[in-house]
A and B are shown apart, each in its own frame.
Chain A
């Protein structure tokens, strides 16, 4: 069989019968070409979107959950329902110590800030933060630095502002670092400007040191909410449940109370988006392979017609001593060759589409499609599928060709 595949005559026969009717050959190949092109193009685009998504999230601890206090919905231990629940700094520490799989617990406080600089002003969200925030939600600083422990310890009145605020309150190319802005009638020194990234999780406009916030806004040890990140190998939903149960215990809230604590589980959301992307990949495979199968069937159909047309020729060949196996083998090789060539063209043009996608949507930092590509393994898998499908579909005309008795084939006009 191998000798047969490397025999020049085998290919001469294939080329002969293909070039005999070029139009038919081309039309036959379009189906498979289109299928592979779709498969490669869609898979590459899906991968590009996934890359883009992953890049946006790469600076963010995705295995995390945000928890804040609300009000109870069930009476418990003498308290009526509707009791306000306020988280405290101590809660964060207890969660860190008692819940399994915790990486960080980052307490935060949030407020509105009326910001004035010279004649310009605006209202922005304001949070008191620990330096740790920069670890779990990496800030892309364009200028300056983020809050450090010194700022916390000395309760400095410093602020890290978003790029948007910088653009609204400062002149173009003006140096913001060291400048003062008034936040709720109190002067803060700008120490950094950060860039807002899409999908980066909850965003705030101004970060000031946590302890400064607590003191300035008289919060004591109350915290607005906390961000809990779990270690990679732990299930964030379980951590959320454990943390909430612990909090309910501390705050004397009914264990079944669903309203007492609000939460936003980023890990869960992330999982859903990842699942969506996975689903899209699956869909792509499904569509691509379904189209491929349709294309291969087209090849089968055309070969069937070809075989019908060549009935007499096949009869002559058999009269000259071709065995049925030799006839079948030739037709199957033709089918596989057609599918492979069409597939290779499809892969090449699919690659062009990905290059086009990359140059159209893949440039810059906020590209929607990043490095749209398919792996070599996928390409080989696609080729393998083609070979298998091609040989299977080739068997139909092959058996059709030899099912006619040579005498009937010779009589065919």
Chain B
């Protein structure tokens, strides 16, 4: 599904450069639910951005679903993002002047689907996150958890191969966080591959595998016993 080998990335800072990723190797198979952990500055967000084709890497190899991701034009990158990836952000990143349904339908718009098909699919995914009744509400009229569920519906709408979540619970309280995690686990049970960046241990424990980063290298990569969010105590 996803294969990364000897990945390096550095950012120029003034005259010198900051070496953020110092040779990352890992593989993610279909149906996995992986947590990438690490303190701030460990390079976990950079890694996620590279996997999400939002950022470029300096050296190494990265293949996604059998496609080598290297030196893509912006247009190609956009197409791959649309086709392969669903993004969930810490701050939801819903478009504030579009209602929930329109937000969910947005990736479908960029896929070039007809209006009717988009509406239908978007409704289906909104229903899946339990927010069909809120379809015509603006993000400002939704709670944090609801917003994140809309964002998840949006990430799912394009039916991506890989769901990528950058601190999906970072802006939510624990109860809501667990609800979101419960939902992500459900999706994973249905076979969706999910990658979550987090620095919260309890969130990481709800995944099936945890990769710990420190100073740009993988410290630990282990399979864990998944804690079901539905049974977790707040």
A interface list, Cβ under 8 A from B: 8-9, 16-17, 20, 312-313, 315-326, 402, 405-407, 410
Contact = CB atoms under 8 A, between A and B. Distances in A.
Contacts of B87: 319-320
A328 to B, nearest CB: 11
Contact of B54 (A8, A20, A317, A406): A406
B89 interface: yes
Interface in B65-98: 74-75, 78-79, 81-83, 87, 89, 93, 95, 97-98
28 contacts: A8-B115, A9-B115, A16-B98, A312-B93, A316-B95, A317-B106, A317-B110, A318-B78, A319-B54, A319-B81, A319-B93, A320-B81, A320-B87, A320-B154, A321-B79, A321-B83, A321-B158, A323-B75, A323-B79, A323-B110, A324-B78, A325-B75, A326-B78, A405-B54, A405-B55, A407-B54, A410-B54, A410-B89
B111 interface: yes
B18 to A, nearest CB: 15
A321 B111 contact: yes
Contacts, number: 63
Interface residues of B, number: 25
B74 A321 contact: no
A150 B158 CA distance: 99
Interface string B104-115: 001101110001
Contacts of B82: 320-321
A322 B49 CA distance: 17
B38 interface: no
Given A319-B52, A320-B154, A407-B49, A20 B97 contact: yes
A405 B55 CA distance: 8
A316 B93 contact: yes
A317 B107 CA distance: 8
In the A-B complex, the 10 residue pairs with the closest CB atoms: A321-B82, A323-B78, A321-B110, A407-B54, A320-B107, A316-B93, A407-B55, A323-B75, A20-B97, A324-B74
A181 B141 CA distance: 95
Contacts of B111: 321
Contacts of B115: 8-9
Contacts of A325: 75
Nearest to A324: B74
Interface of A is mostly: helix
A321 B87 CA distance: 10
A324 B75 CA distance: 6
Contacts of B83: 321
A9 B79 contact: no
B97 A17 contact: yes
Given A9-B115, A410-B54, A321 B78 contact: yes
A302 to B, nearest CB: 17
A407 B77 CA distance: 12
Nearest to A402: B74
Give the interface centre of B79, B98, B109, B154 by most chain A CB atoms within 10 Å: B109
Contacts of B154: 320
Interface in B20-58: 49, 52, 54-55
Contacts of A410: 54, 89, 93
Q: Which interface residue of A17, A316, A318, A319 has the most chain B CB atoms within 10 A? A: A319
A216 B146 CA distance: 110
A20 B111 CA distance: 25
A322 B89 contact: no
Contacts of B54: 319, 405-407, 410
Contacts of B110: 317, 320-323, 326
Contacts of A326: 78, 110
Contacts of A17: 97
A324 B93 CA distance: 19
A228 B87 CA distance: 88
A16 B106 CA distance: 14
Contacts of A324: 74-75, 78
A410 B54 CA distance: 9
Given A9-B115, A407-B49, A321 B97 contact: no
A312 B92 CA distance: 12
A406 to B, nearest CB: 5
Contacts of B107: 320-321
Contacts of A20: 97
Nearest to B107: A320
A323 B79 CA distance: 7
A16 B52 CA distance: 28
A322 B95 CA distance: 14
Contact of A322 (B78, B97, B98): B78
Contacts of A316: 89, 93, 95
A312 B94 CA distance: 10
